[in-house]
Structure 1
Amino acid sequence: MDHCSSQLPSTEAAVTVLRALAAEYAREIEVSHDIGADRTSRRSAAGIGVTTDPDGSLPHEAYVELGGLPRVSVRLFPEGDALITVEGVECPDVPRDDVPAFLRSVYDGLAHVKARRFPPGYFLVVPMPGDRTHKEFMPMINLSPWLSGRVR
């Protein structure tokens, strides 16, 4: 199954792909689900007991933690995007369909840290298919041993 080109129409489909990816890379996986407008993080104004969106749909959000190094977590939002955190570095607004490719890049050793001399700082650089790159600025104090070992 080619996870990089799959369309992930739902949070549950994305979780299924993440479970397969965890098995492929021999990672433990923990998944928690928040279902309903009153439980998802972006709908805190929904009100108590309001479980559906105005259109009648039931939003589904999942939080996934993957074991081992680097420490990785993924929050899948109902809107079709994700927040991926790698060793404490938050990478927001990753399209849900790009999550498997993002994680493959991290686990295959393609992701690296680029140092900038002036002003001083670092970027987590995650190569993606199609000559795309996800770059996320990070302060120097965020350099874990795993990140420090990938500075170029």
Structure 2
Amino acid sequence: MEKARLPTTEAAVRAIREIAAEFGVSVSVTEDIGADQTSRRTSAEPCTVFDPDGSLPHEAFVELTGSPAVSVRLFPEDDARITVEGVEFHDVPRDSVPGFLRSVYGGLATTKGRLFPPGQWLVVPLPGDETYRELILDPNLSPWLARSTRR
């Protein structure tokens, strides 16, 4: 299955809404438009809308309700930060967000524990050979993370 190209933040938000509808999850979206509004443009002058190259940066924060608790921050630089039950996945390419969410809601994401090095990891496989792994910092697993445990 080929990964869909999401050229804009708006296209990514639309794709997330479609996945939420597919899995019966509610969506809340907050959008920031303009260089002085987006989180990575802290050096922008007040009331500055365009970047120096003339582009209009657009960022969105999407919260998906239910279990697991998921939020997605889409950045203008074609990447995203996805948080699943408090576990943050940084620098996920925007084009990978739909596959990531389908894996989480479709039951493919797993929690794996290791004796050495010690720790619990949240592993999210995507179609193809792409897999994301992040260390779970909180030793108390949420019910969803505990239910997803594979040894």
Work out whether residues 103 and 125 of structure 2, in 8 Å CA contact, stay in contact via their aligned partners in 1.
yes
Q: SS at the partner of 2:43?
A: helix
**Structure with a larger share of its residues in helix:** 1
Among all aligned residue pairs of Structure 1 and Structure 2, give the percentage whose two residues are the same amino acid.
Answer: 61
**In 2, distance between residues paired with 1:104 and 1:79?**
22
- Tell me what 2:125 maps to: 127
One-letter amino acid of the structure 1 residue matched with residue 87 of structure 2:
V
Query: Which consecutive aligned stretches of 4+ in structure 1 deviate over 4 angstroms post-superposition?
Result: none
TM-score, normalisation: structure 2: 0.95
- Tell me what 1:82 maps to: 80
**In 2, distance between residues paired with 1:73 and 1:140?**
18
Q: What is the Cα-based RMSD across aligned positions, in Å?
A: 1.3
The size of the alignment, in residue pairs, is 150
Q: Which runs of 5+ in 1 are unaligned?
A: none
**In 2, distance between residues paired with 1:134 and 1:106?**
11
Question: 1:3-152, aligned counterparts within 5 Å?
Answer: 5-141=3-139, 143-152=141-150
**In 2, distance between residues paired with 1:127 and 1:40?**
30
Q: SS at the partner of 2:40?
A: helix
Q: Which runs of 5+ in 2 are unaligned?
A: none
Once the 2 structures are TM-superposed, how far is the Cα of residue 65 of structure 1 from its aligned partner? 0.4
One-letter amino acid of the structure 1 residue matched with residue 38 of structure 2:
T
**In 2, distance between residues paired with 1:141 and 1:39?**
35
